[in-house]
Structures are given as C-alpha cells and as structure tokens.
Amino acid sequence: MHRSLLTSVVLCMKSFLNNTVWCNSSEPPKIRVPRHLKQTYTRKVGEAVNLVVPFLGKPRPKVTWLKEGKPIEPTHVSIRNTDCDSIIFIRKAERSHSGKYDMTVQVENHMDTAILDIQIVDLPGPPVSVTIEDVWGGNVALVWTPPKDNGNAPITGYTIQKADKKTMEWYTCIEHYHRTCITITELVVGNEYFFRIFSENMCGLSETATQTKKSALIVKEGTTDCAFVSVHESEAPKFTQPLINTFAIAGYNATLNCSVRANPRPKVIWMKNKIAIIDDPRYRMFSNQGVCTLEIRKPSPYDGGMYTCKAINDLGEAQVDCNVSFVPHS
C-alpha cells in the first residue's frame, strides 16, 4: 500500500516537472546569415534589394535593425519580421543606401548580432583632366588623373579614343587600360589629333569622357611646329612610359613595351636579371620612333624574372624595370 502510494507520487512529480519544463522551454537566439551575405552585397543604382536573414529563438525573438549605428528610416528601407526570419527590402536602390546594417535578435537577456555590408554602385565620372605630355615622331604621350567620383566602386580601367581634327570622328585606341598614362603610337604624319578618355568600373563606362584641351600635330622628322615640337633639343634619355609587371602563360609569346625620349637617339639595351640579352634566339628586340619592344618567344616558367630596358646616349642614361611571371598552361 505504501509502495503503491509512493510510486503514484513519483509519477505525478515527473509529470509536473515535465510540464513545467515544457512550458518554460526557451531557445537562445541565433542568426543564420546566408553565405552570399557574409561578404559585401553589391547592387547597381535602381535595382531592388531583397534580403532574407533566417534566425532561431524561442519564444519569438525581438528583432532590431540599425544602419551605421542609427535607426533605419522606414520610408527608405522596408523591414518585415516573422517568427523565423527578417526581410530587408529596398524597392529602388540609391547610393545613399550603402552602408553597414546591424541586425540584433534578442530573447529575454540573450541576444545575437550580425552585420550586413550593402554597397550600391553607379557609373563613374570621367577623368578629372587629360593632358598631352609629349609629341614626337608618330607618338603622343597622354597623362590623366582619376575621376573624382568612382561610382562607389573601384575604377577597373579606361578607354582611350582619338579623333582627327578635320573629321572629329572618334576611334577607340585601347579599352580596359589600367594605368593613367599611355603612349599612342602609329599616328599619321600631317594629321592633328584630339584625345578623350572614359573611366570604367564594374557598372560600365562613364557617361561622358574628358577631352584634351589642345590638339597634337604630327609633323615630319626634322621640322618643328610652334605649339608642338617633334624634334627636341639635345637631352638625356627619359622614359615617358615605363614597363608594366606582367603575368603570362608559358608557351605563348609575351611582349614588353615602354617608350623613351632622347636626342641624339639612344642605344637601347634589354636585360634579364641584370644580364644583357645578346644574340639569344628566344628574344626579339625592336624599336620604332621611341617605342621599345621585347618579344619573349614561347617562354617557359623559368623565363620569369626582372626585365630591364636601358637607354643610353652621350648625355646620360635611364632605365625602367618590371617583374615578369609565367604560369604553366593548364
């Protein structure tokens, strides 16, 4: 009798405890940030932003959002919360929507946080200025400054165009160019050229280009023009365009280019790892109106190293270097 009563009491207590635990059960909050939101989330101006961020927690967690530490203006960004996720929605993104968004999920005294980095990008502005630095032979050296407005994204390159003054029809010289100086070659003697440059980022080309204020007249060797001089007074060599560090595929010919100005005409020497390249069938060297070229024929990975172009005349010398790496063909 006593044993039966004791058993009944134990069963009742177990039932009571189980019900109590079930009623008071809770789950600490946990934000499950999707993989694509763990890095900067990028969209173009005008596109929609619709991000769903799941989370766990019982009872239903309290969800709050801040942008750069301040409350989010609901008229600019719409946020909707459910029992298991939070949705942030922007109908038409503007650059002002860029920034770090802090999400907090709280259950009682427990909380979890996550940061979403949203970047809204646009077309860049054009370069600030484009200047004709030098004119010699059939070559024109251009220099420009990057745009003030990069469109909220890194500048990935430039497109350079030329136009004959007589027709003003624009032709592209080079696209996706990464530097802010270039030598345009093989221009026609007797023609007068203007140049313009577009900036480029991940969204595309700038809507407008920046044009040179002056034109470049290409004159014959031995003649001079009041505004632009093709034949300079005696001067030591000066490189107007350096060599560029190069990564290329082994087995395929690679070409290195640079531009030098000097009078009298300089002697040009190419070197690999500070050793002059002489009568080596793996290399082909030539120069045309100040543009120096080294062609490396069917290179192997062992042909990588530091390459140097040196120009020497009676008044002095100058040199430029670059590192070249060849990766095996996969």
Identify the CATH number of the domain in which residue 319 sits: 2.60.40.10
> Which tokens sit at 144?
């420009």
- 9 inside domain: no
pLDDT number for residue 63: 94
> Which tokens sit at 119?
């970047």
Last residue of a domain, one of 65, 95, 121: 121
- The pLDDT tens digits along the chain (330 residues) read 455 655 554 455 555 444 444 345 789 999 999 999 999 999 999 999 999 999 999 999 999 999 998 999 888 899 999 999 999 999 999 999 999 999 999 998 999 999 999 999 999 999 999 999 888 888 898 999 999 999 999 999 999 999 999 999 999 998 988 888 888 888 998 899 999 999 999 999 999 999 999 999 988 765 433 333 334 468 899 998 888 888 888 888 888 888 888 888 899 999 999 999 998 989 999 887 778 889 998 898 889 999 999 999 999 999 999 999 888 765
Q: What is d(CA 328, CA 209) in angstroms, rounded to the nearest whole number?
A: 39
Asked if 197 contacts 158 with a C-beta cutoff of 8 angstroms, the reply is yes
- 177 inside domain: yes
Is 137 found in the same domain as 111?
no
Is 148 found in the same domain as 105?
no
Could you tell me which residues come within 8 angstroms of residue 6 by beta carbon, excluding any fewer than 6 positions away?
none
- 20 inside domain: no
Last residue of a domain, one of 218, 248, 266: 218
Is 134 found in the same domain as 117?
no
- 318 inside domain: yes
Is 243 found in the same domain as 168?
no
Q: What is d(CA 82, CA 104) in angstroms, rounded to the nearest whole number?
A: 14
Determine if the peptide bond prior to 264 is cis (ω within 30°): yes
pLDDT number for residue 229: 35
pLDDT number for residue 230: 38
Is 312 found in the same domain as 249?
yes
- 180 inside domain: yes
Is 143 found in the same domain as 195?
yes
Is 199 found in the same domain as 147?
yes
Is 177 found in the same domain as 141?
yes
Is 256 found in the same domain as 203?
no
Is 177 found in the same domain as 100?
no
User: What are the angstrom distances between the C-alpha of 153 and each of 36, 100, 301, 303?
Assistant: 19, 16, 34, 36
Classify residue 6 by its DSSP letter: H
Classify residue 11 by its DSSP letter: H
Instruction: Quote the number of domains for the chain.
Output: 3
- 224 inside domain: no
Domain of 291? 235-327
User: What are the angstrom distances between the C-alpha of 265 and each of 185, 261, 286, 287, 289?
Assistant: 18, 8, 14, 11, 10
Phi–psi pair at 95, nearest 5 degrees: -60, -25
Last residue of a domain, one of 184, 218, 252: 218
Is 183 found in the same domain as 242?
no
pLDDT number for residue 168: 93
Asked if 326 contacts 300 with a C-beta cutoff of 8 angstroms, the reply is yes
- 197 inside domain: yes
pLDDT number for residue 215: 93
H/E stretch holding 63: strand 62-67
pLDDT number for residue 245: 87
Is 174 found in the same domain as 138?
yes
pLDDT number for residue 1: 47
- 7 inside domain: no
Q: Give the largest Cα separation in the chain, rounded.
A: 128
